[in-house]
Amino acid sequence: MENPKDVTIYDIAKNLNVSPSTVSRALNDDPNVSKKTRKKVFETAVRMGYRINLFAKNLRQQQSLTIGVIVYELNSSFMTLVLSGIENVANEAGYGIIIMDSAQSAAREVANAQSLFHRRVDGVIAFPGPDTKALDHFKPFTDRNIPLIFLDHAGGVQESTCVVIDNAMCGQMAARHLIGQGCRRIAHLTSTLQHDIYALRYKGFRAALMENDLSFDESLLITAPPTEEDSELAAKKLMSLRPMPDGLFVTNDLAAAVCIRTFLDQGIRVPQDIAVVGFNNDVIGKLIKPTLTTINYPGREMGETAARNLMNHLKGVGNMNSISILTVRADLIIRQSSLKKG
């Protein structure tokens, strides 16, 4: 079946017996065209199924009205909140977003950045993945003065803004809370120490132990992907230690929930035998029993902050010629899984 041809301004002009230039000006809401004519043109355009060629229009105006967003995973409630925050602010400013998922692949992240560059996006918000070592693939954007915002990655790309939480302080908060509940042998389960956000959380965790004169046995540090299978294996490894840890800080709520379930299945009480603190404030933390103490990772607020700053750069507000760090507050949410002392 042959596709119908798009309606043009010439078709609308012929239908209304006016000039194509009048239709064009009316569709662009030109005040030199009477309100009555503008209304008639708009109504006819809608009735005839006219579609504005935004690509051609934006090309003439040297802008795409789109923001590129690169994330390293999509299957998390935290990332959903980040994207929701970005989209809310972008839409209010008349921008659409193009979401690229690198799936924790550094090579795919490079390809995503190149794709967004060739799509002529007006700005980029990027959440580099744990395997990303260098950020050279973002340099074409800064070379062209295209605003670039990083999320929770303070690694140095000149002429960029970074929206972060204080990851070291978060690790410190988690450990201090467990110590305050009487824990003295505290384990740490993290995804990787190669990514700076996890390295900083570990650094803060260790700092809290040191300030309380608590030693750290390296056997209490486990790095594993935050999958159900790997988290269960990590919990079993911790249970095999002698003595077993009496506290656990996990940098992912799903992993923490799996650990709690594994402990309970083996007759180990939470928090009486081992207190657990997670990270992210995912919905699962409210659904499991006992409910999960966690660090609130404010995804929506981070997304909104990044998008607002990007919009400011697009309006020429702010200095794009230096690295700027914007820190969003993260809090400890205390629930049942860590309350040894009630």
Q: Is the CB of residue 96 less than 8 Å from the CB of residue 90?
A: yes
Is there a single domain that holds both residue 189 and residue 288? yes
Is there a single domain that holds both residue 290 and residue 254? yes
Is there a single domain that holds both residue 257 and residue 320? no
Q: Which of 47-56, 83-92, 98-107, 118-127 has the lowest mean pLDDT?
A: 47-56
Is there a single domain that holds both residue 204 and residue 249? yes
pLDDT digits (tens, 9 = 90+) for 194-252: 888 899 999 999 999 999 999 888 999 999 998 999 999 999 999 999 999 999 999 99
Q: Does 341 map to a domain?
A: no
Average pLDDT over residues 54-68: 63
Q: Does 339 map to a domain?
A: no
Q: What is the CATH number of the domain that holds 39?
A: 1.10.260.40
Q: Does 342 map to a domain?
A: no
Model pLDDT, residue 156: 53
pLDDT at residue 79 tops 50: yes
Domain ranges, residue 176: 167-296
pLDDT at residue 276 tops 60: yes
pLDDT at residue 59 tops 50: no
Q: How far is CA 201 from the centre of its chain?
A: 17
Q: Does 141 map to a domain?
A: yes
Write the CB contacts of 7 (distance below 8 Å, at least 6 apart in sequence).
45, 48, 49, 50, 51
Q: Mean pLDDT in the chain?
A: 88
Average pLDDT over residues 287-297: 96
> Which single residue is written with the structure tokens 């002392």?
341
Model pLDDT, residue 78: 87
Q: What is the CATH number of the domain that holds 89?
A: 3.40.50.2300
Is there a single domain that holds both residue 119 and residue 203? no
Is there a single domain that holds both residue 202 and residue 91? no
Q: Is the CB of residue 313 less than 8 Å from the CB of residue 147?
A: yes
Q: Does 60 map to a domain?
A: no
- Confidence band of 7 (pLDDT split at 50, 70, 90): confident
Q: Is the CB of residue 324 less than 8 Å from the CB of residue 161?
A: yes
The count of structural domains within the chain is: 3
Is there a single domain that holds both residue 119 and residue 180? no
Is there a single domain that holds both residue 204 and residue 149? no
Q: Does 335 map to a domain?
A: no
Query: Of 141, 173, 177, 176, which Cα lies nearest the Cα of 159?
Result: 141
pLDDT digits (tens, 9 = 90+) for 119-138: 889 999 999 887 777 788 88
pTM over 0.85: no
Write the CB contacts of 279 (distance below 8 Å, at least 6 apart in sequence).
170, 174, 201, 249, 250, 251, 252, 253, 256, 294, 295, 297
Is there a single domain that holds both residue 190 and residue 261? yes
Is there a single domain that holds both residue 205 and residue 109? no
Is there a single domain that holds both residue 32 and residue 109? no
Query: Of 192, 219, 223, 187, which Cα lies nearest the Cα of 206?
Result: 187
Q: Does 338 map to a domain?
A: no
Is there a single domain that holds both residue 177 and residue 125? no
